[in-house]
Structure 1
Amino acid sequence: MNETFELSTEDFNKQLSKPQESSGRKKNVLSENLRITWKKPTINCEARIRITWLAASNMVRIERVSGTFNHSHLMEENYKPPMIADVIRKEASKLYEDSGVEYLKTKEVTNIKQKLVGPMNLHLVGDANLKPDILNTIKFLIENNYQVESFQKQESLEHLRGLCFANFWQIENLTRYGWLMLMDSTHNTNKHGWHLFTLYIRDSCGCWNVSAHFFVNRENSKAVMSALKIVQKFALQWNPQYMLLDQSSIESNGIALTFPAGCEEIVCDAINICSIQANAKYIARNYLKNSRQWSLWAQQHSPLLLQITSTNPLESYYSELKAKISVQYGFISEYFL
């Protein structure tokens, strides 16, 4: 009968969790005297692994401890080469004497990791040519139950192209909560240099969520207008009332071209149907020429609108997104989904 002897078995907490609290700053220290530091965001990972050395076969077995969680994050993102090298040095020195592991360099670990991780991300690179990459992107999105539409048009000397996409739940949220929205763009998300725009809505739980994306090859008002009109086709009952932007005339002009019917049209309708001439003149004098002031008044008297003064929630989303994508990739990867 074959017997397996377990010479050494140890359990390890994953390096992503923090078993101890971080030390806090000293009290009564002026803010200008504090050192600026960067802290990696904590990942609440409770996974545990068991490492067993099987003496009979002189092999090491690594397995997940029963009852603990599976991984729900990217291994290649969180395990940095210095961390990997440090763990290898500690564990190898325990198991083997004179292994020479102390001579292991972080650069060597980096090279090995790149060889392993590179092929894993190869599917994200996409086609080098623009047209096949767009076609592959559309196919990928449709297979993942997205509504997607591309456009191209000639405006003066500029050739405008774009790609819009949103799934069923995003369109439903856009219809229900799209009266209040953040919109902003970012760059360096794909190899083709197209700008990524995102529409961000605030749901009934007070959480910010993506309601639609679109890429454009030129960041100008006509391109933004063309993309927003496609999003309108996705969500026919979408009726935006407040759209918060950064100081971008391109975005504001694109919105004005897409939604020309605003409070001015409502005021004009009120004037036209008013049967009393004096009242019609009063409405024209006090409402028609100062719609901006009425808009500011509505914002200042809304507790919700007073809480939203910037596009920071969308900027935070872009920061998380760009930590996972690369300018070497094509348009779409699973990080968008």
Structure 2
Amino acid sequence: MITRHLRARLKGWGGVGAMATACALALVFALVLTCAGAPTGAAQQPAGQSVSHAARAQADEDCADPEKQTLPPSTADGPTIEAIKNREGEKRKLIVGVDQNSYRWGYRDPNSGEGGTLEGFDIDLVHRIAEDILGDRDAVQFKAIPTDQRIPAIQAGRVDMVVRTMTINCDRLEDVAFSAPYFKTGQQVLAPKSSPVEGYDETLADQEICTATGSTAYTKLEADKKAGKLPESTDIRTTVPNQLDCLVRLQLGEVDAVVTDGALAASQAAQDPTVQLKGEAFTAEYYGVAMKKDADDLVRRVNRILVDFREDTTDGWQDAYTKWLSATLGADASRSEPPPPEYLREG
């Protein structure tokens, strides 16, 4: 503990001050968004927690290749899309849950004016979806959604979809529908450069790890801890509503390491030169657009849009990767490219 607090003091204003400022600004933005209403209602228990562990385990056994459990593409309108198109006046917008704190994915550029323009890879994809459905790339109402509120926001109808670095997995398929994958990543460890942690291995013994509540990172850590694949002394109890909060805790010396998607961790390392990725990715995961389970027409339309997004050589997936992610993930996008889509879900 003494070492941890000493590390926090040594970091000084370089990382902590900047991040504290960013977090304060994010809080202000969340309260005064003009085009991005903040989530309403009291915090809810993450969806699916009422389901027994036994039921979840059986669901996982019955689910193979979750990234393929989606519907074939279609351009046809259905009841969900018609309801979106029938919104009147200023309400005729696509309502999308996003992040506003993930650098280069969904974040506010502090140099882009008073409100800060919301931008990033996920934001580009949202604009493309809005343009296809409503004919206007700016016909979007962004809602800032914490990590642990992504599924509840969809189920409660507060958003039409969530585009927020959300991994497709069997557990979540019980609660929401997903598009085909639009990005490939994997869990990695983020820790101070001076840390003895070397990766997802025995060097995590006696270390306190931070993850986001409801994240696939925590699910993996919990499963591996029970299976004896993590050192018994590894402390995984620290969870936070938003993944960025883990970086702040790491900078303050309150935790020793963070486990999250490598794509997000790379962006966080770019924000703070005192931390770095440790070891290689130890899972393979795929981001998808999440929607209500019965929104079949919207799922099919998004899948059609993703086909076009991947094939577009002038303003598509590769262009968005180069613009937003090449600086943190490298110029070679091959490791991040989504697999060829397969549509195994029966409508």
TM-score tier by shorter-chain length is: under 0.3
TM-score scaled by length of structure 2: 0.24
- Say which one has the larger Rg: 1
Q: TM-score, normalised by structure 1?
A: 0.24
Question: Which structure is higher in RCO with an 8 Å CA cutoff and minimum separation 6?
Answer: 2
